[in-house]
């Protein structure tokens, strides 16, 4: 009987990893190194847990936080945890992730939202799976930290989307080979659907994997209007994107002094 992972698994014993994909091949090269890139804007309440989840493997992966102008202590939290912190202005998630990718030194880039937690063993699983040179990237199954049955249903539908088309969204902790990310030009610097747009382009380059157990993502964005209205709104936007493509005019102009690094303090 298949065991369904729960939010509580985040702090439990590292689970057995499964790959949801039509195909996986192993040990064709050395294990890959991973840089974790976290775009932030006033994420002090959730950032620490995201960082800790990225470090629970004990692999000492590089973590780059790219901040868009926080005023709540996010930058200070990133510095105090030993992460590399970059600043961009104005805030724009796609631009922030591209800035992090330019500074990254590892073989594989993992884009993690600040309100999302990786399961134990996630980074190590990426290192192992990406030993197969035919794999170009992927993401994780997603669950929300909510008891909403509607949100649980949307997660199942997202898993079906992953199986049928290999399309992933940003809250699924997308990962990709760094060299290929740069070859593809990174994320389109637009306000929405930069993640789906990139995932679709990536899928044309090779094999995509969906890893399970899932990441646990915050359901906070569904609070204001409720799960039903927010989900319907998302569906309408997705249909518009699939019909017309992304609106490249929506991205704000970068400030001249963007992408200045904030160096974390030296350890005592």
Q: Quick: pLDDT tens for 229-240.
A: 999 999 999 998
Q: Is the pLDDT of residue 118 over 50?
A: yes
Per DSSP, the three-state class of 40 is strand
Per-residue pLDDT tens over the stretch 185-237: 999 999 999 999 999 999 999 999 999 989 999 999 888 889 999 999 999 99
Number of domains in the chain: 1
Question: What does the DSSP assignment read for 158-209?
Answer: HHHHHHHH----GGG--EEEHHHHHHTTSS---SS-HHHHHHHHHHTSSEEE
Structural domain range at position 145:
30-254
Residue 159 lies in a domain: yes
* In a domain? residue 7: no
Task: Look up tokens 């915050």; give the residue.
Answer: 218
Residue 48 resides in a domain: yes
pTM for the model:
0.81
Q: Is residue 199 situated within a structural domain?
A: yes
Q: Is residue 263 part of a domain?
A: no
Residue 206 sits in a domain whose CATH number is 3.90.550.10
Q: Is residue 21 part of a domain?
A: no
Question: Residues 134-162, buried b or exposed e (16+ Cβ, 10 A)?
Answer: ebbbbbbbbbbebeeeebeebbeebbeeb
Q: Does residue 24 belong to any structural domain of this protein?
A: no
The tokens of 178 are what?
């760094």
User: What is the rounded CA–CA span in Å between residue 70 and residue 221?
Assistant: 18
Write the CA distances from 175 to 128, 237, 258, integer angstroms: 13, 24, 24
Any domain includes 66: yes
């Amino acid at each position: 009987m298949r065991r369904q992972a729960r939010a509580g698994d985040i702090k439990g014993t590292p689970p057995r990893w499964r790959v949801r994909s039509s195909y996986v091949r192993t040990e064709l090269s050395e294990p890959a190194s991973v840089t974790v890139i976290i775009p932030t804007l006033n994420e002090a309440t959730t950032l620490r847990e995201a960082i800790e989840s990225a470090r629970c493997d004990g692999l000492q992966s590089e973590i780059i936080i790219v901040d868009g102008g926080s005023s709540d202590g996010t930058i200070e939290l990133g510095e105090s945890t030993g992460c590399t912190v970059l600043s961009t202005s104005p805030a724009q998630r796609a631009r922030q992730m591209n800035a992090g990718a330019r500074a990254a030194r590892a073989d594989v880039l993992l884009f993690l939202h600040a309100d999302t937690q990786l399961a134990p063993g996630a980074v190590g699983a990426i290192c192992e799976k990406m030993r197969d040179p035919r794999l170009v990237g992927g993401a994780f199954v997603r669950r929300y930290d909510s008891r909403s049955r509607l949100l649980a249903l949307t997660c199942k539908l997202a898993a079906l989307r992953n199986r049928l088309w290999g399309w992933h969204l940003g809250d699924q902790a997308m990962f990709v080979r760094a060299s290929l990310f740069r070859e593809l030009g990174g994320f389109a610097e637009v306000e929405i659907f930069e993640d789906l747009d990139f995932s679709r382009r990536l899928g044309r380059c090779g094999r995509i994997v969906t890893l399970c157990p899932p990441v646990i993502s915050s359901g906070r964005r569904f609070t204001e209007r409720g799960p039903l209205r927010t989900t319907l709104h998302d569906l309408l936007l997705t249909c518009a994107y699939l019909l017309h493509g992304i609106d490249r005019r929506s991205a704000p102009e970068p400030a001249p002094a963007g992408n200045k690094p904030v160096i974390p303090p030296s350890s005592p």
